[in-house]
């Protein structure tokens, strides 16, 4: 396959010369490559990645890769502090007979709003028919003031809301008024940029002061803070409410069904879909699995435009056959932020840490979280089987200075694990404190292991020691990009993850990726004033 791509590079790129060089095949990078070819019927793109698989940090990993924590050592990796655990007592279980390739585990799992910029991009690129999604079935709030075994099903519809015994009739009406009001374009109802959620809700026309009601609203918006800013919360809730009904189902509450779960790990499949959409145009070429030997910007003629030239080594793992090296050039460079080190210049380096995401991936054997839906306060047991098992559980912060934890529970029907198992993804966004030591990183084990055990105690008929097959605790450090003015001419940095933590949640990051990739492609495709052809 790669040899075919390399032949295309020479033929379609006019002897290795292209308009754009895109380094990286992550989701944003691949969407950028597609947008460049789609917006200009004459543009040519060469997309290069030293990795042999599409996706970078979006690519799904197999079980062995998770256990060995190889994802922390990759050249592109933003992951660190990995601690893996395994249950040796489960050696006789069926899980050990499952091959590593039976797992497709996402290092940065995400959900997709059923209506939004990302779904629009999938449809426009004709990628959607080649991808599969599952519906989310349950929004769940863990109640810290009700002991370890109280899980509250968040309302997904008006019907669900009025069945909640935990809320008074007045609170239910206030919540309905809030949902209706935020969809009103009236600017008088919109929060100000500096307003907190609790302050915004306490004022007319809402007058919501019940802490539980405020917690429910924050949980539905997947807020990363206990008392978040009101503006991003309202924005996210609007997107969810607008997505209700796109994929109707009589057995699924409306609001959870507004979010989609990608099969087989999700992000890597989506990135590859956009890569193929670019290739279908006949003007985009991809070369994977070759180390980058050099990346330089040089003038092709005296006083001529400077072009980027990239030299690639022999394909990884191939000691014989093929070409020893390849060379391509392009007038414009779009570089993944994860490959920023390729710009060998002392003034160009990663910016300060914006925040850190503590993450956990846990593999649960049978019976897994068999009581998760049975123990919900508002869901009748008769509907358990028909409503499925993909669930999103929000653990509010219990102490001052802590952050909420979000748990995504994924079943085998997603293609992520064997039939008798479940995957639990935990994440918590930790904002950088200026008073912290420069290299101090939060400990994902200390922050997330108690939550994992609490979830199992609350939602399984077994104790953690009996069902926990494997777990990996790791951190994802998100840095600010360097200022654009520091970059060489004709160079654009493609962010891999939002520096704004408000856009890093489960259901928000793909919307950010869709908007960011389009913006970067638009900037890179604009003709410079120096290149403008003068009128005769």
CATH of the domain at 511: 3.50.50.60
State residue 378's pLDDT score: 47
Residues 270 and 336 in one domain: yes
Structural domain contains residue 508: yes
Structural domain contains residue 11: yes
If you ran DSSP here, which 8-state letter would residue 150 be given?
Answer: -
What average pLDDT score do residues 217-232 get? 91
- Is 156 or 162 the better-scoring residue by pLDDT? 162
* Whole-number Å distance between alpha carbons of 67 and 363: 11
Of 187-201, 206-220, 245-259, 318-332, the range with the lowest mean pLDDT is: 245-259
**Number of domains into which the chain is organized:** 2
* The 112-113 sheet, strands edge to edge: 112-113, 259-262, 133-135
State residue 88's pLDDT score: 41
- Which of 68, 56, 147, 129 minimizes the C-alpha distance to 100? 68
State residue 348's pLDDT score: 83
302 pLDDT more than 70: no
Full domain range(s) for residue 182: 79-103+111-265+353-479
Residues 400 and 286 in one domain: no
CATH code at position 371: 3.30.519.10
State residue 155's pLDDT score: 76
Q: What percent of the chain shows pLDDT beyond 90?
A: 58
What average pLDDT score do residues 31-50 get? 97
513 pLDDT more than 70: yes
Residues 314 and 369 in one domain: no
Q: Which two tokens stand for residue 348?
A: 């160009």
Residues 419 and 507 in one domain: no
Last residue of a domain, one of 454, 479, 504: 479
Structural domain contains residue 535: no
Residues 250 and 271 in one domain: no
Buried b (16+ CB within 10 A) or exposed e, 263-301: bebbbbbbbbbbbbbbbebebbbbbbbbebeebeeeeee
222 pLDDT more than 70: yes
CB 414 within 8 A of CB 263: yes
- Is 284 or 73 the better-scoring residue by pLDDT? 284
State residue 61's pLDDT score: 94
Q: What percent of the chain shows pLDDT beyond 70?
A: 84
CB 442 within 8 A of CB 449: no
- Is 198 or 324 the better-scoring residue by pLDDT? 198
* Whole-number Å distance between alpha carbons of 93 and 340: 44
Structural domain contains residue 426: yes
The answer to whether the bond into 67 is cis (omega within 30° of 0) is no
Block residue for tokens 């520096």: 499
DSSP code per residue over 447-508: HHHHHHHHHHHHH-SS-HHHHEEEEEEEEEEEEPPPPGGGSPTTEEEE-SS-SSGGG-STTT
Q: Which long-range contacts (CB under 8 A, 24 or more apart) does 511-515 make?
A: 511/113, 511/116, 511/117, 511/118, 511/239, 513/27, 513/28, 513/31, 513/118, 514/31, 514/116, 514/117, 514/118, 514/120, 514/121, 515/117
Last residue of a domain, one of 459, 479, 499: 479
521 pLDDT more than 90: yes
**Helix (H) or strand (E) run with residue 267 in it:** helix 267-280
Q: What is the pLDDT of residues 414-446, one digit of tens each?
A: 999 999 899 999 999 999 776 565 567 799 999
505 pLDDT more than 60: yes
State residue 98's pLDDT score: 52
Residues 141 and 225 in one domain: yes
Structural domain contains residue 73: no
381 pLDDT more than 50: no
In sequence order, what are the beta bridge partners of 431?
Answer: 355
If you ran DSSP here, which 8-state letter would residue 22 be given?
Answer: E
Of 20-24, 30-34, 218-222, 272-276, the range with the lowest mean pLDDT is: 218-222
Residues 168 and 83 in one domain: yes
CB 57 within 8 A of CB 338: yes
Residues 234 and 93 in one domain: yes
CB 349 within 8 A of CB 340: yes
- Is 222 or 384 the better-scoring residue by pLDDT? 222
Q: What is the pLDDT of residues 52-65, one digit of tens each?
A: 999 999 999 999 99
Residues 120 and 223 in one domain: yes
408 pLDDT more than 70: yes
Structural domain contains residue 129: yes
Structural domain contains residue 152: yes
Block residue for tokens 């990628």: 127
194 pLDDT more than 60: yes
Residues 123 and 252 in one domain: yes
Most confident of 175-184, 238-247, 296-305: 175-184
Buried b (16+ CB within 10 A) or exposed e, 126-143: ebbeebebbbbbbbbbbb
Structural domain contains residue 74: no
How confident is the prediction for the chain on average, in pLDDT? 85
Phi-psi region of 218 (alpha: psi -120 to 50; beta: other; left: phi over 0): alpha
CB 339 within 8 A of CB 24: yes
75 pLDDT more than 80: no
Residues 13 and 49 in one domain: yes
Residues 361 and 475 in one domain: yes
Q: Which two tokens stand for residue 41?
A: 């019927």
Last residue of a domain, one of 464, 479, 494: 479
376 pLDDT more than 70: no
Q: Which two tokens stand for residue 428?
A: 């918590």
């Amino acid at each position: 396959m790669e040899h075919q791509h390399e032949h295309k590079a020479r033929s379609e790129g006019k002897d290795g010369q292209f308009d754009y060089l895109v380094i990286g095949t992550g989701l944003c990078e691949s969407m950028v490559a597609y947008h460049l070819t789609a917006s200009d019927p004459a543009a040519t793109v060469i997309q290069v990645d030293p990795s042999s698989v599409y996706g970078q940090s979006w690519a799904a990993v197999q079980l062995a890769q998770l256990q060995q924590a190889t994802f922390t050592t990759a050249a592109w990796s933003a992951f660190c502090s990995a601690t893996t655990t395994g249950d040796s007592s489960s050696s006789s279980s069926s899980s050990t007979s499952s091959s590593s390739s039976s797992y497709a585990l996402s290092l940065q799992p995400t959900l997709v709003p059923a209506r939004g910029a990302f779904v629009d991009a999938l449809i426009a690129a004709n990628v959607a028919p080649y991808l599969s999604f599952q519906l989310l079935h349950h929004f769940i709030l863990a109640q810290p003031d009700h002991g370890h075994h109280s899980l509250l099903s968040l309302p997904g519809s008006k019907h669900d809301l009025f069945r909640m015994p935990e809320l008074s009739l007045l609170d239910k009406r206030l919540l309905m008024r809030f949902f209706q009001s935020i969809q009103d374009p009236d600017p008088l109802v919109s929060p100000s940029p500096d307003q907190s959620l609790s302050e915004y809700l306490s004022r007319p026309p809402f007058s919501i002061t019940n802490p539980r009601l405020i917690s429910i609203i924050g949980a539905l918006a997947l807020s990363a803070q206990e008392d978040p800013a009101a503006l991003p919360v309202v924005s996210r809730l609007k997107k969810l409410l607008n997505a209700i009904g796109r994929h109707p189902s009589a057995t699924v509450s409306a609001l959870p069904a507004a979010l989609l779960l990608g099969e087989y790990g999700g992000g890597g499949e989506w990135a590859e879909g956009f890569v193929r959409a670019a290739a279908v145009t006949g003007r985009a070429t991809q070369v994977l699995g070759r180390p980058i030997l050099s990346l330089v910007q040089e003038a092709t003629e005296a006083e001529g435009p400077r072009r980027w030239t990239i030299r690639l080594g022999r394909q990884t793992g191939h000691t014989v056959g093929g070409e020893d090296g390849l060379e391509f050039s392009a007038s414009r460079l779009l570089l993944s932020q994860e490959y920023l080190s390729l710009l060998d210049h002392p003034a160009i380096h990663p910016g300060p840490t914006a925040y850190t995401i503590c993450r956990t991936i846990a593999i649960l054997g049978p019976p897994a979280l068999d009581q998760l839906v049975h123990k919900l306060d508002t869901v009748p047991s008769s509907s358990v089987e028909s409503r499925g098992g993909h669930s999103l559980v929000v653990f509010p912060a219990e102490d001052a200075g802590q952050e909420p934890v979000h748990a995504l529970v994924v079943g085998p029907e997603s293609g992520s694990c064997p039939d008798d198992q479940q995957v639990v993804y935990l994440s918590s966004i930790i904002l950088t404190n200026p008073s912290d030591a420069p290299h101090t990183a939060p400990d994902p084990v200390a922050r997330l292991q108690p939550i994992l055990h609490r979830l199992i105690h609350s939602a399984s008929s077994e104790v953690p020691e009996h069902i926990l097959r494997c777990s990996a605790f790791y951190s994802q450090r998100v840095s600010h990009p360097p200022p654009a003015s520091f970059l060489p001419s004709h160079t654009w940095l493609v962010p891999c993850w939002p520096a704004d933590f408000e856009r890093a949640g489960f259901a928000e990051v793909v919307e950010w990726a869709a908007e960011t990739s389009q913006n970067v492609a638009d900037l890179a495709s604009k003709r410079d004033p120096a290149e403008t052809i003068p009128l005769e």
